[in-house]
Amino acid sequence: EGKWSVSKIFDSVPPEDKEDLVLNPREKFQITVNPTEKIGPDTRFTISMQPEVGALTTVVRTTPGDLRAVNILR
């Protein structure tokens, strides 16, 4: 497991409804991964977005602490 955070959402249209937390199709976002003992600065890795049960393939706008469905694999 690495230390990670969602740093920003970019190329996105601000939602008209503040309660609209779902990313639109093809809307882009960025995940920043910081090096750890297992994942060095030159280590290639895969980020696997795994939706929570019942969420299907929906990715939501959220804070790093709330985004628990991200696994960082070596």
CA distance 33 to 52: 21
Residue 16 above 60 pLDDT? yes
Q: Domain map of the chain by residue range?
A: 3-73
Q: What is the pLDDT of residue 43?
A: 59
In this structure, the chain runs to a length of 74
Express each pLDDT in 28-72 by its tens digit: 666 656 556 665 656 565 555 555 444 344 444 544 444 444 544
